[in-house]
Amino acid sequence: MRRPTRGIIQYGGAQANRLGVCLATGLALALSGCGGHNVATVTASTSSPTSTPTSSPTSPSTPTTFAVGGTVSSMASGVSVTLQNNGGDSVTVSANGAFAFPTALATDGSYSASVGSQPAGETCTVTNGAGVATANVTSIAVSCVPAEFVAFDTTGSSAALYLYRVDPATGALTQVPGSPYAIGIALGGMVFSPSGNTLYVGDANDSTLRAFSINRSTGARTAIAGSPFTTVQSQPALAMDPLGKFLLSVSVNNGTLSTFGINASGGLSSSAAGTGSTGASPVSLAVSPTGSFVYTGSSATNNLSAFALDSTTGALTAVAGSPFSTSEALSLAIDPAGKFLYATNLTSNTVSIFSIDASTGALTSAGQAATGSGPNGIALTPSGRFAYVANTGSNSVQAYSVNSTTGQLTAGSAVSPGISPENLTVDPNGKFLYVSVLGSGGAGALQGYSIDPSSGALTSIAGSPFTSVNFPNNVAVVKLGP
C-alpha cells in the first residue's frame, strides 16, 4: 500500500510531464485532474514565475513607560506639599487625593519619592516610596500630621540656639535650615507660644529676652520686630498661659515673678502687667492647665510660691497659705488634669507631690517619691500616665507610672543617657522624650527616646544623640496649632 502524501507534491515520471502540460495551458487545474492520486490541490496561473515576496519595513516600537504616583492624605486645607522623585522631578500637591510625578519612567526604571518642601504647619512622610517601575505605580503613600519642633539652647560665651523638626513616626530630629543660630549670650529659660508660631528665649545674665517667629513650613526662626525686649534680670525659667496672652518670667536676682503682655506680632509689652514676690533665687516655674494658677520654686528658701493669674490683665495675686514648704525645688510639673504638682528636690533625692485646690490654687502635701541622686528636670506625658525625672548625680532618667487618683509615683525602668542629664521634655503626642545632657567637662548632647505607650519604658531613638555641644541647657518641644 502506498503511504499518503498528506499535501506533499510529488514530481516524477509521467506525472511530471502531465503537470508541465497543465501549467502550459494556463488553466487552473487540480493535480488530481491531470492524473495521480493523493496529491495536494494547488492553484496555478499564466503569470510569469512568482518571485520571493519581500517584507515591508517594520516601524520602530514606542518604548513602554509607566506613570509614578500615589496618594496624599490628612493634609490640612489651604496648604500644599512639594514632592520629588529621584531628587528632582517635582510635583506640588494642594489637596488630598491622587498625584503623579510629571515624568514617566521606562520599564525597570527606579523611583524614590521624597518631600521637597513641607506644608505650612505640617510634616508629611512618605511610605512605599521607592522601587522599580514594571507597571504604573500608584502605591506611594504620603501622610501629613501637625508639625512638631524641638528647641535646644546652650550657655556660655558661644551660646547658640538649635531648632529641629521631629519625625512623627520615629522621633528622629533633623536640624532646620540655618540651625544652629549663634547668639553669643548666656541663654536661660525658653518657651514656645501655644500655637508654636513664636519662641521666647531669656538671658541668664541680663534683663533681655529674645523673641523669634517660627516659619511654619521650614521651622527656621526670624527675630520679631523690637527683639530683644527688656524684661527682668537673669531668667532661668519662662512659661506662658494656655491662651498665649502672657509670658511669665522669674528673676533669680530680684526674687520675683513677672508677667508681660504679648501683642499680635508676638512682641512683649514694655512693662510688666503683674509682679509677685517669690523669695530668693527662684529657678523653676509652672502654670496650671487652665491658666488660673502659677507656681515658682526657690532654691534658696526651699519653698513654693503660688499665685492666681488674672486672665484679662495679667495681674498676680498670692494664693492664701503661700509660700508652701518643700526642699530645693529645681523643676516643677503639673499633671494634665491640674490635680497635682510635682517638684524635684535636688538635695533630698526626692520628688515632692502636692494636691492642688481647684478653687484656690492652694497646695497640700500628698507625699514624696524616691529618685536617683541629684534629681533635676521632671516631665509628664500628656495623658498623665507617666512621669520622668533626670537624675544628674546618678546619670539616669527614671520612669514612673502615675496614679491619677492619688498622684503617687511608682518607679519603673531607668535609662542612662550620659553624664549629668539635666532638663527634659515630652512631645505633645506623648510618643517621645528629649533630654539635655551636660556631659563631661560641658561636652554635652541632646538625647531622644521613644516612650512605650503601655509601660512608659524608654528606648533610644535611632540617630540619638542628635547633637554634641558645649554646656547644653534647656530643651522645649511644641506641636504647631492652627
pLDDT at residue number 55: 53
pTM of the model: 0.83
Residue spans of beta strands (DSSP E) within 381-430: 386-391, 396-402, 409-415, 421-426
pLDDT digits (tens, 9 = 90+) for 263-291: 999 999 989 999 999 988 999 999 999 99
Statement: residue 338 has pLDDT above 90? yes
pLDDT digits (tens, 9 = 90+) for 396-408: 999 999 999 999 9
pLDDT at residue number 235: 87
Statement: residue 327 has pLDDT above 90? no
pLDDT at residue number 329: 87
pLDDT at residue number 245: 96
pLDDT class of 233 with cuts at 50, 70, 90: confident
Statement: residue 4 has pLDDT above 80? no
For residue 208, which amino acid is it? Answer: T
Q: How many CA atoms lie within 13 A of 276 on its CB side?
A: 28
* pLDDT (mean) for 352-375: 97
* pLDDT (mean) for 376-385: 97
Give me the chain's average pLDDT, please: 87
DSSP at 268:
B
Q: Are strands 274-277 and 282-287 parallel, antiparallel or unpaired?
A: unpaired
pLDDT digits (tens, 9 = 90+) for 109-156: 999 999 999 999 999 999 999 999 999 999 999 999 999 999 998 877
Sheet holding 122-127, edge to edge: 97-100, 68-73, 137-146, 122-127
DSSP at 57:
P
In angstroms, the CA 232 to CA 227 distance is 14
Lookup result for grid cell 529641629: 164
Q: Is 34 helix (H, G, I), strand (E, B) or coil?
A: helix
* N-term to C-term CA, the chain: 99
Higher pLDDT, 293 or 443: 293
Lookup result for grid cell 512638631: 148
pLDDT class of 187 with cuts at 50, 70, 90: confident
In angstroms, the CA 140 to CA 124 distance is 13
pLDDT at residue number 197: 94
Are residues 266 and 307 in contact, defined by beta-carbon separation less than 8 angstroms?
Answer: no
pLDDT class of 62 with cuts at 50, 70, 90: low
